[in-house]
Structure 1
Amino acid sequence: MRGHEAVVKVLLEKNADIESKDDRSDLTPLSLTAMRGHEAVVKVLLEKNADIESKDSVFGRTPLSWAAIEGHKAVVKMLLEKNANIESKDSVYSQTPLSRAAEKGHEAVVKLLLKKNADVESKDNEFGRTPLSWAVIGGHEAVVKLIRDAKSSRLSV
């Protein structure tokens, strides 16, 4: 959670449970470090085959969702390289990482997700909003343009 790479390595050498979950919301070490953007620790955990699809019990979010929400581009990239489920929906509103990143205005993360063909038409189950809707509501003009461009280029194929 605090990004202490050396401590994580020592604990893993001592066979610490890489999938242990906290008592509050069942977040794994990978989810916590992805949320905080600690790239070095995320890399160590991924090298040890931490579960990239683990979901917490409160929001039902994967490490990719947490990294996308917080705008941690490098962590999102690492998780995508390990084939994290780009369309994983959280259990609160059924939002994808793209919807969450668009809502928050994280342009670099949105760009990465669009390059990996994230579904621009995915709708949440609370309001029926797409990533474009969330970007518009948030007033994130650059993200709106990215999504609109992605939609039009996919239509012309």
Structure 2
Amino acid sequence: MSAQLIAAVRRGETAEAEKLLAGGADASTRETTTGLTVLMIAAGQADAPTVRELIRGGADVHTADRRAGATALHKACQGGSLEVVRALVEAGSFVDAVAPTTGHTALMDALWYKYPDIAEYLLGQGASLKVYTHYGFSLEQHFEYELNVNTFGKDKLLEAERHLNARRERDAAAVARQQLMAATAEGNTELAGKLLADGAKVDERSPDLGSFNDSHTPLLVAARDGHAEIVRLLLDAGADVNAVEPTFGAVPLHKAVYNGHAGITADLVRQDGTDLDFQGATNGYTPLHDSLWHGYEECARTLVEAGARLDLVGHDGKTPLDLAVEVFGAEHSLTGLIRDRAAA
């Protein structure tokens, strides 16, 4: 059945692929000779109907090919179908996924293959401009090189350059506009309070500039950087206490405990709706895991006493008790508290 599905996708026979998937074929089937999944094959062939069918069938949009490490989104940028790119992004493809052999992101490939419409779309989805190839080129140098070595299709590259410049201008305007984020980053409580009173958007996210604050809300930054008074102002203004930043998949409570901010931890724990047990995407750690990992006893005690779950495991298989023993020792009072609560 796997061979039949590969053949159907290679021929662009969407109806046959749909029939095979309904019959139990694996939507993430991989071709042995090329190392490509059927989703990558369809994406590279710019076959939007088959791509959509495979996604509906459960195809993994994140997996990489076995030779270059590229994702289906990279292949879609080679195939040149904006419709395919859009379908993959809407299905959860990571726009800044890096191919381990080249260091290329999807945006770099869209520029390389001269598809300005795809480049424009990816830029609109927040694709990073601060990326580097594994052969030492920044995105800007990569693009400049392409301009110099191409004679055919140079008009498309110049169109893509206009989109790049427009994105840079939008980013600069967003930075200038986000006075609340600037005040938060500076720890300027007075200005932050005034801006909130004047109606500043409390959960507006910072643009992706290749910085520590990319796609962060002010609350994520304030919790991370220890600006306790600003945290309280933001919470009073209705800030999303469970806002997730995309780099590590962390929430404000992770940020606070990771840096040992006990007072902020207590404020966040007391806030209605705070998810004490959110597991970060990078390592599966909850805020309690993070507080123990970094040795912040007061933060950990606050979470345990607030009822944080003790049975969740990180991607390394460790429970909070495992980390408490590892960091504080088996006889420490905090370890004893966690052991007793876990046994209750």
> Match for residue 173 of structure 2?
156
* Runs of 4+ residues over 4 Å off in structure 1: none
Output the amino acid matched with 2:46: G
The reply on whether 1:89 has 2:98 as its aligned counterpart is yes
Partner of 1:18: 27
CA-based RMSD: 1.3
Contact 2:35–2:65 under 8 Å retained in 1: yes
TM-score (norm 1): 0.93
What do the CA deviations read for 1:42-90 (whole angstroms, capped 9, x no partner)? 1111111210011111110111111012221110011111121001011
2:161 is equivalent to residue 144 of structure 1: yes
The amino acid across from 1:51 in the alignment is D
Preserved CA contact (<8 Å) 2:99 2:105: yes
Q: How does 1:69-148 map to 2 (within 5 A)?
A: 69-130=78-139, 132-139=140-147, 140-148=157-165
Distance 1:143 1:25, change over 3 A: same
SS for the counterpart of 1:69 is helix
Code of the residue aligned with 2:120 in structure 1: it is K
The separation in 1 between residues aligned to 2:118 and 2:92, in whole angstroms, is 16
Structure 1 unaligned segments of length 5 or more: list them. Answer: none
In 1, the alpha carbon distance for the partners of 2:142 and 2:82 equals 19
Equivalent residues of 2:98, 2:104 under 8 A apart: yes
Number of equivalenced pairs? 156
Q: Which residue number in structure 1 is paired with residue 308 of structure 2?
A: none
TM-score, scaled relative to structure 2:
0.44
Q: Deviations over 1:105-126 (max 9, x none)?
A: 2101001100101001211121
Which has the larger Rg? Answer: 2
Query: Which structure carries more relative contact order (alpha carbon 8 Å, separation 6+)?
Result: 1
Match of 1:4 among 2, 10, 13: 13
Contact 1:105/1:135 (8 A) holds in 2:
no
Using the TM superposition, give the Cα deviation of residue 145 of structure 1 relative to its aligned residue in structure 2, in angstroms: 1.6
CA–CA separation in structure 2 for the residues paired with 1:40 and 1:112: 19
